[in-house]
Amino acid sequence: MAAPIASAASQDPTQPAPTVAVQNGEVAPVAAPEATHQAEVAHGDAHGSGGLPQLEMQHWAGQIVWLLLIFVVLYILLSKVFLPRLRAVRDERAGTIASAVDAARQVQAEASAQAEEAKAEVAKARADARATAAAAKARVTQDAAARQAAEESVVNARIAEAETAIGKTRDAAMANVSTIASDTARAMVERLTGKAATAAEADAAVKGAA
């Protein structure tokens, strides 16, 4: 613990005597309360009279150095780290957009080509269908004409056969008519004259009457 404070005589009677204290066997001067108060007031005035320290000219050199240092660091970071990354992202995005646009144009071109191919295939299918229909119609017409010609030939043959049969029947009927007429004439001559006529005479009479 500190010993009681003792006052010593000063050489200058106008100045207050310094105060000393004995601690651990040693004598140490102690500042007077008034001197301490004056020092604190002077220190406070020094800080209060200048305002913000960063606005005082004696601090501008250090602030300029730090500002330049921070600017250089920020410039290096922007030029070497951030801006290349941003540029890479921008280039990648632009490449993605360009590739997407190219893919869309390619798909559109392929779709247009496929549409043209489909249109050509539809037109070809229609032409083939028309050609097939025309060929089928011609074949049916030809078959019908051939069938009609065959049927007509068959009918004509049957008509010819019928006409031949009719002719034969007519001839046979005419022959029978001549025979009947001859017999009838012989019978009438025999009935009228009482004398039978010969067959030659009856035939000649029938032929002469015909």
Q: What is the pLDDT of residues 104-149, one digit of tens each?
A: 999 999 999 999 999 999 999 999 999 999 999 998 998 899 988 9
34 contacts: CB under 8 Å, gap ≥ 6: 16
Please say which residue of 9, 33, 49 terminates a domain.
49
Residue 6 lies in a domain: yes
Which residue segment(s) compose the domain that 10 sits in?
1-49
7: in domain: yes
Percentage of residues of the chain with pLDDT beyond 70: 65
pLDDT of residue 23: 53
Going by pLDDT thresholds of 50, 70 and 90, the confidence category of residue 208 is low
Whether residue 106 is contained in a domain is answered as no
Flag whether 128 is in a domain. no
Note whether residue 166 is domain-resident: no
Q: Does some domain include residue 129?
A: no
* Residue 22: inside a domain: yes
Domains identified in the chain, total number: 2
Answering whether pTM is above 0.85, one says no
Alpha-carbon torsion (80, 83, 84, 85), positive or negative: positive
> Is residue 18 included in any domain, yes or no?
yes
Instruction: Name the residue with tokens 């015909």.
Output: 210
